[in-house]
Amino acid sequence: MRVHLIPCLLLALWVTNPPVSRGAVPAEGGAAAAAANSRWPRTDMDFRAWLQNMVVYHQFTPEEVHEATGVEVARILSALKVYRFQPGVHPPRAEDAPLLVLPYPGGRHPRIGFLEGAVNPQRETKLSVFAPWDESSYVVIDVPEALWSNLGLTYLAHTHVPTLWTKANIELPRLEWRHHKDGAYHVERKLPNGIAFATKAIPTQDAVRLEVKLTNGTTNTLTDLRVQMCAMLKGMEGFNQQTNANKVFGKPFVACRNEEGTRWVIWAWEPCHRAWGNPPVPCLHSDPKFPDAKPGESKVVRGRLSFYEGKEINAELRRIEQDPWIQRAASGEL
């Protein structure tokens, strides 16, 4: 009997409510925007998986789960009792396990400041990478946050500056990350004009290796293909001061240290166009640029996020430069 009790109970908990509206996303924040940006669980198993992601690993409050899902707080509390989920309580990870990577669930804004520059952040571009020394701390990577081309602002992972599609009153469909058996994550978006981009994230023990492939499905050559790749530090204890004084910049690397200078977050993409940081957020940017793409051509940029414990940061950056994953991207071999 217990095998069937949990699904039936959870079905009673939330399935009677109507789905969250899929209408146009409001241009400003507030309760209405939060409701429009929430994503109602598709099934009981989906609800359980997102609850575990949000509460156990990201340590969301029930109110934050509500913001992310639209499910009533009372029903969330009931489901947490059924599943016995508690913030931060999970099985220990093996020492040789890959870095823990999970889809960022939304509900809690990944920025501290400059919130008006990222209304309704969409979760299908965002992954959380948890620190190996403290699994309650995590970096939210936004891959990609924005894509420009000779056509203008071609994609934006939140609402702020008008894009080609907001100007045309075209709402892009919501997507979700796909998690593969080998631990990799993948998501692919095709834009209304035929441009497509696919993002892949591969967690390993020493780094998360990332790749974005852009395919030109238009009839004209695409140029000036600049990309913003953002690593947000709000969730990283000891790294989230709103300053650039704790950061090192040197293309393709952007590195942020703790106060003691003994632990580092390192972000790098190739071929790198610009390395910078935005203190109010705070975040790291190693922004690559795709080569020009003729009709039908695909182009690739690659990156990696890693953590380092030690004080020899320059030696660590020189070591990472030899990683074939980004070395080949820097040399244009891909």
pLDDT tens per residue across span 247-288: 999 999 999 999 999 999 999 999 999 999 999 999 999 999
pLDDT recorded at residue 331: 87
* Eight-class DSSP state of 221: -
Q: Residue 249: CA atoms inside 13 Å, Cβ hemisphere, count?
A: 14
Distance CA 133, CA 95 (A): 11
Residue labelled with tokens 């823990």: 100
Residue range 101-330 forms a domain whose CATH class is mainly beta
pLDDT value, residue 205:
97
pLDDT (0 to 100) of residue 193: 98
Cis peptide bond prior to 252, omega within 30° of 0: yes
Q: What pLDDT sits at residue 35? A: 56
What pLDDT score was predicted for residue 42? Answer: 92
Task: Parse the chain into domains and list their residue ranges.
Answer: 2-83, 101-330
What Rg value do the Cα atoms of the chain yield, rounded?
A: 20
| Contacts of 146 by beta carbon, 8 Å cutoff, 6+ apart | 153, 155, 156, 157, 227, 228
Look at residue 36 in the predicted model and tell me its pLDDT: 65
Q: pLDDT value at position 99?
A: 98
Give the pLDDT of residue 22.
Answer: 30
Written as six digits, the tokens of 108 are: 């809690």
CB 183 within 8 A of CB 202: yes
Residue numbers in the chain where pLDDT is lower than 50: 1-34
Query: Is the pTM value of this prediction over 0.95?
Result: no
CA separation, residue 232 to residues 35, 140, 189 (Å): 23, 5, 22
